[in-house]
Chains A and B, each alone.
Chain A
Amino acid sequence: MSAQPPLLQIEGLTIDLPPQADRRHAVQNLSLTLERNQILCIVGESGSGKSLMSRAVLGLFPSRHVQPSAGKIMFDGEDMLRVTPERMRDLRGNRISMIFQEPMTALNPVLSIGAQIEEALAVHQRVDRKARRNRVLDMLNAVNLPDPEKILQSYPHQLSGGQRQRAMIAMALMMEPDILIADEPTTALDVTTQAQILKLIREIQQKRGMGVLFVTHDFGVVAEVADRVAVMQHGHIVEQGLAVDVLDHPQHAYTQALLGSVPSLTPGPKRDFGSDKVMLAVQGLKKSFVSGGGFFRGSSREVKALDAVNFEIRRGETLGIVGESGSGKSTVARCITRLLDADAGSIQVDGVDIAGFTQKELRPIRRRVQMVFQDPFGSLNPRRTVGQLIAEGPIVHGTAAAIAWERALELLELVGLERRSADRYPHEFSGGQRQRIGLARALALQPDILVADEPVSALDVSVQSQVLRLLSDIRKKLGLTVLFITHDLRVASQVCDSVAVMLRGKVVEYGAVADVYANPQHPYTKELLAAVPGKNWSHGREGLVLA
Chain B
Amino acid sequence: MKQGLSRFFRNLPAVFGLVVLLLVMAAAILAGLLYPGDPFAMVGKPFQPPLSEYPLGTDMLGRDLLAGILHGARTTLLVGALATLIATLVGVAIGGLAGYFGGHLDNFLMRLTELFQTIPFFLFAILLVAVMGASVGSVIIAIAVVSWPPMARLVRGEFMSMRNREFVQACVSLGMGHTRIIFLHILPNTLSSIIVTGSLMVATAILIESGLSFLGLSDANAMSWGFIIGSGRTVLRTAWWICAMPGMAILLTVMSINLVGDGLNDALNPRLNSA
Interface residues of A (CB under 8 A from B): 63, 334, 337-339, 362-363, 366-367, 369-371, 373-375, 378-384, 392-393, 396-397, 438, 441, 445
Contact = CB atoms under 8 A, between A and B. Distances in A.
A337 B175 CA distance: 10
B165 interface: yes
Interface string B34-75: 000000000000000000000000000000000000000000
Interface in B146-176: 165-167, 169-176
A370 B176 CA distance: 13
19 contacts: A63-B275, A334-B169, A339-B172, A366-B173, A366-B175, A371-B170, A373-B166, A373-B170, A378-B167, A379-B166, A379-B167, A379-B170, A381-B185, A381-B188, A381-B189, A383-B189, A384-B185, A392-B176, A441-B170
Contacts, number: 60
B194 to A, nearest CB: 14
A363 B175 contact: yes
B166 A393 contact: no
Contacts of A362: 175
Q: How large is the interface on B (under 10, 10 to 19, 20 to 34, 35 or more residues)?
A: 10 to 19
Nearest to A336: B173
Given A371-B170, A378-B167, A379-B170, A396 B176 contact: yes
A480 B188 CA distance: 34
A332 to B, nearest CB: 14
Interface of B: 165-167, 169-177, 180, 184-185, 188-189, 275
Given A382-B189, A383-B188, A393 B174 contact: yes
What is the interface of chain B mostly: helix, strand, loop, or mixed? helix
Nearest to A334: B169
Contacts of B185: 381, 384
Contacts of B166: 373-375, 378-379
A392 B174 contact: yes
Contact of A393 (B175, B177, B184): B175
Max chain A Cβ within 10 angstroms of own Cβ: one of B165, B173, B189, B275: B173
B165 A367 contact: no
A429 to B, nearest CB: 14
B228 to A, nearest CB: 45
Nearest to B176: A396
Nearest to B177: A396
Given A378-B165, A381-B185, A366 B170 contact: no
A406 to B, nearest CB: 18
B174 A366 contact: yes
B5 to A, nearest CB: 16
Contacts of A63: 275
Nearest to A441: B170
Contact of B173 (A337, A374, A380): A337
B167 to A, nearest CB: 5
Given A371-B170, A379-B170, A396-B177, 6 more contacts: A63-B275, A378-B165, A378-B166, A393-B175, A396-B175, A438-B170
Nearest to A373: B166
Nearest to B165: A378
Contacts of A366: 173-175
Contacts of B173: 337-339, 366, 369-371
Contacts of A378: 165-167
A158 B180 CA distance: 42
Contacts of B184: 384
B182 to A, nearest CB: 13
B170 A396 contact: no
B174 A396 contact: yes
Contacts of B165: 378
Contacts of B177: 396
B100 to A, nearest CB: 14
A369 B189 CA distance: 27
A369 B174 CA distance: 9
What are the 7 A-B residue pairs with the smallest beta carbon separation, nearest first?
A366-B175, A379-B166, A393-B174, A373-B166, A383-B188, A378-B166, A381-B167
Contacts of A441: 170, 174
B198 to A, nearest CB: 18
A334 B169 CA distance: 9
A366 B171 CA distance: 11
B169 A396 contact: no
Contacts of A393: 174-175
A379 B166 CA distance: 4
A10 B262 CA distance: 45
Contacts of B180: 396
Contacts of B275: 63
A369 B172 CA distance: 12
B107 to A, nearest CB: 11
A393 B171 CA distance: 8
A392 B175 CA distance: 10
A378 B167 CA distance: 6
Contacts of A334: 169
A340 to B, nearest CB: 10
Nearest to B187: A383
A382 B191 CA distance: 13
Nearest to B191: A383
Nearest to A392: B174
Contacts of B188: 381, 383
Nearest to A451: B173
A369 B173 CA distance: 8
A371 B166 CA distance: 10
